[in-house]
Amino acid sequence: MKELTILRGDVILVQPDTTIGGEQKGTRPGIVVQNDDGNMFSPITVFVPLTDAKGKKQYPFMAKIKKGDGGVRKDSYALANQIRVIDRSRILENWGHLSDEAINELDNSLRDELDL
């Protein structure tokens, strides 16, 4: 299988390994947050999972991602409080790249979550 090229801000479909408790479970989209140098040379990447926004309250650690942005299929939240490191072999698809506006909102959520 040909390895996918990924960049920071790409929306990817991920098949994570086993999870416990409140960790996001199952195959799901997420957003690559690792820098492009790391994505070019490393066998791993860092991403935040997406969850359906329908009926959910937004918290500072959640960035709103609108349907269609980066190929996202429904209004979603990027969960900056659920940062994950995965082997690139867990990436099933690359759906597209987020708008600068969405990346900025995600960066703000990451800064808030990590107290940067």
**Nearest to residue 70, comparing CAs of 36, 108, 32?**
32
- Helix (H, G, I), strand (E, B), or coil: what is residue 95? strand
Write out the chain's pLDDT in tens, 116 residues. Answer: 457 899 999 999 998 776 666 656 678 999 999 999 999 999 999 999 999 999 999 999 999 999 999 999 999 999 999 999 989 988 999 999 999 999 999 999 999 999 98
pTM as predicted: 0.90
- Helix (H, G, I), strand (E, B), or coil: what is residue 4? coil
**Domain spans, the chain:** 10-114
What does CATH list as the number for 10-114?
2.30.30.110
What distance in Å separates the CA atoms of residue 28 and residue 102, rounded to the nearest whole number? 18
